[in-house]
């Protein structure tokens, strides 16, 4: 566009109109990228929160009432790498292969890099919100809930209690399950879920017709592990090379190489927390050991896309 055309469009107001249309388009895109099916707990100014939820049975198309997704999130010289890992669906993943190579190099520095680039495991489940005082409009509704290892461990502990005087509970059962009291505490600036617990075993509701209505609203969790949720190996490799600035060469390891273990050293959350704190100079409300902080991850996703 020439300067004369620019001035002409400015006078007619078409520049402003075009700009507003672009802004509206961007806003629509941003709005559509957020999943309003996902329920997120909220906290007060002190960083403490409380809600009561009920984990729901498996969708008819799913064998399990939860889905698990492995992912990677780390920063390199060329930007952020935030991608689902192909290991979720039993395929080779370039980051996993690189990390195995680094871990087996014998170098402590390489092992530290592998730790920072390790996989992160997240879970998705259907829930019914029993009590959400900060957002009462959510009560009585079915949502998807994304959570990490800490809450998953509490679920498995309820199903397989440690002591013989405790009865096992299937938290996903409409009639014999139990409400989950989600208790969030601010511990050293981070969300902590240690006090969360299951209540006594009891039906979610006494009306089977209402339970059936809830059952019919369950989300199909298989979408989270569908092939279209994962980029191809070659595309992930290209992205990885760009993020690492081609400084680290990926060599496919021999089949005999031991699979990387995910309990070695620190976690992705540790690195996300450190970097986000340095960037914003404000506390990140997150349990860095076990849980995701979705808002922080969304922020890093935007950085990765820039």
Render pLDDT for 35-88 as a digit per residue (tens, 0 to 9): 899 999 999 988 899 999 999 999 999 999 999 999 999 999 999 999 999 999
Q: What fold characterizes domain 36-305? A: Replication Fork Single-Stranded DNA Binding Protein (3.90.198)
User: Using one digit for the tens of pLDDT, what is the confidence trace for 168-219?
Assistant: 999 999 999 999 999 999 988 888 999 999 999 999 999 999 999 999 999 9
**Three-state DSSP string of the chain:** CCHHHHHHHHHHCHHHHHHHHHHHHHHHHHHHHCCCCECCCCCCCCCCEEEEEEECCCCCCCCCCEEEEEEEEEEECCEEEEEECHHHHCCCCHHHHHHHHHHCCCCHHHHHHHHHCCCEEEEEEEEEEEECCCCHHHCCCEEEEEECHHHHHHHHHHHCCCCCCCCCCCCCCCCCCEEEEEEEEEECCEEECCCCEEEEECCCCCCHHHHHHHHCCCCCHHHHHCHHHCCCHHHHHHHHHHHHCCCCCCCCCCCCCCCCCCCCCCCHHHHHHHHHHHHHCCCCCCCCCCCCCHHHHHHHHHHHHC
pLDDT tens-digit readout, 201-214: 999 999 999 999 99
| Boundaries of every domain in the chain | 36-305
Confidence at 227, pLDDT banded by 50, 70, 90: very high
Note the pTM of the prediction, 2 decimals. 0.71
């Amino acid at each position: 566009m020439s300067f004369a055309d620019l001035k002409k469009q400015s006078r007619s107001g078409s520049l402003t109109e075009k700009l507003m249309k672009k802004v509206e388009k961007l806003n629509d895109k941003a709005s559509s990228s957020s999943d309003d099916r996902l329920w997120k707990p909220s906290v007060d100014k002190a960083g403490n929160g409380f809600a009561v939820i009920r984990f729901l049975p498996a969708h008819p198309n799913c064998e399990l009432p939860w889905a698990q997704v492995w992912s990677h999130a780390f920063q390199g010289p060329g930007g952020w790498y935030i991608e689902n890992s192909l290991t979720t669906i039993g395929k080779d993943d370039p980051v996993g292969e690189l990390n195995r190579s680094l871990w087996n190099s014998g170098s402590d520095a390489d092992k530290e890099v592998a730790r920072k680039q390790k996989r992160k495991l997240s879970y998705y489940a259907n829930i019914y919100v029993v009590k959400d005082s900060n957002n009462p409009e959510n009560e009585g509704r079915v949502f998807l809930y994304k959570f990490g290892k800490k809450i998953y461990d509490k679920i498995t502990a309820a199903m397989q209690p440690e002591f013989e005087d405790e009865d096992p509970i299937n938290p996903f059962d409409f009639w014999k399950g139990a409400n989950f009291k989600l208790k969030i505490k601010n511990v050293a600036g981070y969300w902590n879920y240690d006090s969360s617990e299951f209540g006594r075993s009891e039906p979610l509701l006494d009306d089977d017709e209402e339970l059936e209505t809830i059952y019919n609203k369950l989300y199909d969790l298989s979408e989270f592990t569908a092939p279209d949720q994962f980029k191809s190996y070659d595309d992930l490799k290209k992205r990885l090379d760009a993020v690492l600035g081609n400084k680290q060469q990926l060599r496919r390891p021999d089949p005999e190489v031991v699979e990387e273990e995910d309990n070695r050293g620190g976690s992705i959350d540790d690195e996300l927390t450190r970097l986000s704190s340095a960037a914003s100079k404000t506390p990140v409300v997150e349990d860095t050991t076990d849980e995701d902080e979705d808002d922080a991850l969304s922020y890093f996703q935007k950085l990765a896309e820039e």
